Structure 1
């Protein structure tokens, strides 16, 4: 293997020695394994096809009760970080270092030493009404905490710096902290310490001016006691205060990450990328994941050699949640700059039995499906978490908490991982190995490809996810949060994104809080002007600047599908109808279903579905006198009131669908076709569950990504705008499987026009194909032909392998 001397981020690629690479890693916790077991686990990782190992490096483990920090195993084999790094280097494994200070990973105090809390009680947050926080998070910017973090970094960062790839070592990237802001969000506990509230006052005055702050919040920022009480116990209906408090936390996290990075760089860690881990999945879904993006994107957006990584636990991948993962990646990319690639720092591996109680078993093939979808969306680094289990050694300091170990999971840890605590593989290990092998067969192409999109983009509104804090006594705030949770992101019941993805569309997301027109004019992959239609799922709350930006976009000739409620208020609760006024559409009364009320709608006109459909919620729409060429295309059956209208404001075109219409794929395709948007690829599969997208490089070489998340085998013909692909050959895709099929891929001797088999790599100048079985075929155009016996009409410099 060629020695790695540099790892950089550029053009949304991961450059290793200046060349785009796709990196697969596995998380191995050296501090949970005896030193004698390290080699075996790393060898298993290499056997699985991975080229990197990731590991947390817990402050809690390496600091002794007296404050001494041991990173070389002088006092315990579990502390021999240096030995582990050197062993990884011997196997040519890159290292993704994750030194905290927070690491989570089921560790006590999330990996922070007990001493820090004892000596600095002021760092513990104070929550609503002055109540103490319920988690072991901290005030990140507290002076005492930062002093202790600096002390920890002063010990561990030089060790990592000395072993950067630029200095001949294995360290290829470093994660700064872990899941920043997560504990505060899940516990609904903003960090309302005295120091933080003083800083919030300064931030607020800088943002709004002293008089403006008093007007927004009814609080005098110079009256310290009143300010502290008013923020900790806000008056009912304090929508502006809640919004500002969450926005302020974004700024705090940005400053915190900036501090960590500057500290790391001061110790010589200057030649590798930094990473931020984004949290947020729950219950096997990704609905809340964008909260983590919303909290943290100012910390990394536009920052050189720094990017974000996903942290997702979705369990199985099915028709229910496949759009969750797709949209998570799209929203992450929407706030990345032109150099920042997608990565995944905790990519769920294993069988999902995290409680060791057999309450959950994730099918092993879920790992393959999720990997295939993520690489199709240009993820450049995938870290399988947790790759290998282990055990939790005892704490050197006895704390009397029932087990006195470093973690709360008991003696064994990672019992669901592909390699279990005792070193035995479970059913997910061969799937991981086979998946990495299969994807790596096309890795030389994937690493320098971007996803191709259809003529639309899903709107991402980061402020729709500023819902992590809500005072428990503020019913108005609670109602706003509940409505946002219902309509934001993927749409009510997740139908909009699910219908788009399973309807055959490939789409990016666009941050409509930034310069919308700039995002539309330039395709993220670097292509020509796109002019995409925007699909916005919105509640009645939408910030005035965003409404204005969308209004200007449509009036100037843009296309918009608005699904949900017509916005009627700004984030501070004040009336705001800029977007509706521009469209000539006003939102009227809403009707919500319950056990006695069953609101129904009937589509009409040019739509494809005219049966009466029960919905969960609808809004009556009223057309203004200036609504241009307005046409109703769905009505409430009980009243005949419009719930869906088509309008042509200015030079634009908009559809407003104010109900949670079912996931009728033909209906949603008809809506998008009305806006002039049709999928690049179509297929004739008879059951839902097929996801299709493609990636392309600068030379026009393509890979077609087909994923069947449904429960039935499918056989279908794929077509593009010119006709059937693969000369009309049917693609056979078993249930719960995927294919990455080459189109127009060059070799030294010609062009592989297409193949219904996946690439297995390149050998001796020839492309290698992996046999699938039924329907195997390919077409090669070139010289020096060799014939594949099973496909006598397809010849060329292509070799089939098992």
Structure 2
């Protein structure tokens, strides 16, 4: 049985018995496996190097038709949760418990028993125009639903409490519900029951101070029928404010729901362990939508003690196309965390990706390694590979006549693409997972207590720019505002600013512009037309005090309610002019000029003319190729320094690097790779020990020399990075006996008394060990090995004298 006695969140670390640890888990669904197969799947998990198992605990499975609950298998082996937890404990595995009430996981009703829907039909919400929503969602705060949740938690939580690590058991963390708000987000339909709308009316008065809703929304709260009808079918000049406020109100509903779940769990003894909130990913095709989940839920967990968020991550392969989206998704999560909340990933995509058995999608095993390496470089302390092992879907207790009468809609088998398939057979992603976990575990003690090092730049995060999940289908003005936000927000139009920063060698955090913030870093803001007046005011004040800003998009011109707002533009002394967007007959083009790197004119998807107001002095660095009008200008309001690029300029790395250099920002890490596609960042601990993280996302091999602040790293030795591969290279690692591993082109496999263990790459393998007692060799001893591709993965031992 595991001997862990405490798991806590502190300083953005996961402390296991007071010591920072990196926890690697895999998802195994006991309720989709015969009891006789549990040991094999858990053994496979441990064999892969994982130290924890995560599992849903579905209400739908454990509740019997009469409403009673079986958690020990007295009625079915699929319900023996207690036995599964004890088996995990016997293997020394920690457990991440995921008891719902919603679990999704392709289950019928998202894991809610049929009885709940049958007995409480009013739980099923209506949406736009009073039409019932098309999913099996419920009103989270409906009293009848909360009563049912209390019954479920009253059954499941005492079992969880009895097996917490604080009581000698294996359970180290508990996830509250799952993907809260996801169903409403993917359908674009909010919950608009009478109870919800009455509550929204009170919230708009109490939280926003909207004493006159007629002026703001064109609706009178005192007329309940007109109010409900008007919210369900918004129109007119107040619809923009109504859409925004209603979405913001949903954040508070989710926060109240999470608070209820936590309070209920704690009332049954589940306490003194971390709680997790899973942020859904509403679109597999485009990671750009991930911040919608952060926007919906951050108010539920930010600042809540011993609670943090976890990513829900399904992007397929990792390439130059989507790496910036994944990197900034983590950065946005961190931007709304407090000082104790670490990054975690509670659903980290594993397997080959053919979820529908269509052979329309296949994710290469290398993707798992690349994504894992990126996540640990950004400070993720918990990674749960989902789904680690497939299984089968048992029949429901009573037929419902839906075509298969099983617990899930995926057929008899489930998890076809998992590293360990439904029948226990490994697929090619399993060895990749095992090798990746071995590489991460070799540096695990370092990674667990390190933070990413950033350059002098941050990406702006504006949560309200992602309040776009709801848009009435007939509201043309709202649709236009949403389209503009979607085009320019976040990493910028076509993701180019964020991608250029990352592939240009920059490591950067995000800053939440809606919080109380101040920073000495330059800020890059993907700038839509809409930007809240309060945010504009803060940015304007910060710039006047010396802030450095790159606006990439269009010049903000309106507040969230649609009213004109040019606070930031007025401070910069700029006016927005003609906007031109690509269409069948229009091909806006831009030419860099002035101090910007000389280029031929380039096509863009959109541009906006800029002009100076009054005596504002502007330095033009990009123009509309057709008219010569400025689309890129430099201004210096107050003691600040601002670049405005109102055109989605292509991802020419030298151009974007030059813009940041103009603001005094240069990447600390540079390299001489001949083609783009390499991501470089580093992590450091309090003792100055570092790991250099290299990712080659390109489809061809790269050989490069890495420099830090202009000085060569790794003894000026070239690092060979095969296509689609990564490295975590130790720098200034302190060794027992007083020596130092100054650098190595091989990854760390671990340390032992008197030994450093390195994992060979087979090409250019070398390491420098410095022993201060070796006065005859103060520069250290260089260890190198001849190139040998067959040696890749072999562990070599370097003896280090112990004093």
TM-score, normalization by structure 2:
0.96
Instruction: Check the 8 A contact 1:236/1:475 in 2, yes or no.
Output: no
Q: Residue 534 of structure 1 corresponds to which residue in structure 2?
A: 523
Shift of 1:284: 3.5
Is 1:561–2:527 an aligned residue pair? no
Instruction: Check the 8 A contact 2:736/2:753 in 1, yes or no.
Output: no
Shift of 1:625: 1.7
Q: Residue 691 of structure 2 corresponds to which residue in structure 1?
A: 703
Number of matched residues?
784
> 1:560 aligns to what SS in structure 2?
strand
Instruction: Check the 8 A contact 1:712/1:734 in 2, yes or no.
Output: yes
Q: Residue 508 of structure 1 corresponds to which residue in structure 2?
A: 509
Instruction: Check the 8 A contact 1:281/1:313 in 2, yes or no.
Output: no
Shift of 1:798: 2.9
Instruction: Check the 8 A contact 2:527/2:555 in 1, yes or no.
Output: yes
Instruction: Check the 8 A contact 2:2/2:89 in 1, yes or no.
Output: no
Q: Residue 720 of structure 2 corresponds to which residue in structure 1?
A: 732
Cα distance in 2 for residues equivalent to 1:712 and 1:513: 41
Shift of 1:188: 1.4
Cα distance in 2 for residues equivalent to 1:125 and 1:609: 57
Shift of 1:765: 4.0
Q: 1:595 aligns with which of 584, 590, 603?
A: 584
Q: Residue 125 of structure 2 corresponds to which residue in structure 1?
A: 125
Q: Residue 57 of structure 1 corresponds to which residue in structure 2?
A: 57
Is 1:322–2:323 an aligned residue pair? yes
Shift of 1:208: 4.1
Cα distance in 1 for residues equivalent to 2:212 and 2:695: 53
RMSD after superposition: 1.5
Cα distance in 1 for residues equivalent to 2:205 and 2:385: 45
Cα distance in 1 for residues equivalent to 2:429 and 2:23: 19
Cα distance in 1 for residues equivalent to 2:185 and 2:781: 61
Is 1:391–2:392 an aligned residue pair? yes
Shift of 1:211: 3.4
Instruction: Check the 8 A contact 2:281/2:293 in 1, yes or no.
Output: yes
Q: 1:418 to 1:6 in 2, by over 3 A?
A: same
Aligned ranges 1:129-148 → 2 under 5 Å: 129-148=129-148
Instruction: Check the 8 A contact 2:282/2:293 in 1, yes or no.
Output: no
Cα distance in 2 for residues equivalent to 1:665 and 1:232: 47
Is 1:348–2:343 an aligned residue pair? no
Shift of 1:766: 2.3
Q: Residue 769 of structure 2 corresponds to which residue in structure 1?
A: 780
Instruction: Check the 8 A contact 1:602/1:611 in 2, yes or no.
Output: yes
Cα distance in 2 for residues equivalent to 1:353 and 1:216: 48
Cα distance in 2 for residues equivalent to 1:661 and 1:565: 12
Instruction: Check the 8 A contact 2:768/2:781 in 1, yes or no.
Output: no
Cα distance in 1 for residues equivalent to 2:726 and 2:509: 21
> 2:644 aligns to what SS in structure 1?
strand
Q: Residue 79 of structure 1 corresponds to which residue in structure 2?
A: 79
Is 1:790–2:778 an aligned residue pair? no
Question: Which runs of 5 or more structure 2 residues have no equivalent in the other structure?
Answer: 775-779, 788-795
Shift of 1:791: 8.0
Shift of 1:219: 1.3
Cα distance in 2 for residues equivalent to 1:753 and 1:256: 51
Instruction: Check the 8 A contact 1:57/1:99 in 2, yes or no.
Output: yes
Q: 2:652 aligns with which of 664, 679, 690?
A: 664
Q: 2:735 aligns with which of 743, 747, 759?
A: 747
**Which whole-Å deviations, capped at 9, do the CAs of 1:140-166 have from their partners, x for residues lacking one?**
000010000000000000000010001
Instruction: Check the 8 A contact 2:579/2:609 in 1, yes or no.
Output: yes
> 2:200 aligns to what SS in structure 1?
helix
Q: 2:612 aligns with which of 606, 612, 623?
A: 623
Instruction: Check the 8 A contact 2:2/2:94 in 1, yes or no.
Output: no
Instruction: Check the 8 A contact 1:586/1:621 in 2, yes or no.
Output: yes
Shift of 1:213: 1.9
> 1:329 aligns to what SS in structure 2?
helix
Shift of 1:720: 1.0
Cα distance in 2 for residues equivalent to 1:614 and 1:197: 47
**Which whole-Å deviations, capped at 9, do the CAs of 1:498-521 have from their partners, x for residues lacking one?**
00000000000000011121xx2x
Question: Which runs of 5 or more structure 1 residues have no equivalent in the other structure?
Answer: 521-530
> 2:693 aligns to what SS in structure 1?
strand
**Which whole-Å deviations, capped at 9, do the CAs of 1:739-793 have from their partners, x for residues lacking one?**
000111100130111111100011234221111111111111014798846389x
Q: Residue 635 of structure 1 corresponds to which residue in structure 2?
A: 623
Instruction: Check the 8 A contact 2:2/2:169 in 1, yes or no.
Output: no
Q: Residue 358 of structure 2 corresponds to which residue in structure 1?
A: 357
Q: Residue 415 of structure 2 corresponds to which residue in structure 1?
A: 414
Cα distance in 2 for residues equivalent to 1:570 and 1:476: 14
Q: 1:19 to 1:515 in 2, by over 3 A?
A: same
Shift of 1:437: 0.2
Shift of 1:586: 1.2
Shift of 1:285: 2.5
Q: Residue 164 of structure 1 corresponds to which residue in structure 2?
A: 164
Instruction: Check the 8 A contact 1:349/1:367 in 2, yes or no.
Output: yes
Shift of 1:86: 0.3
Q: 1:631 to 1:722 in 2, by over 3 A?
A: closer
Cα distance in 1 for residues equivalent to 2:440 and 2:409: 36
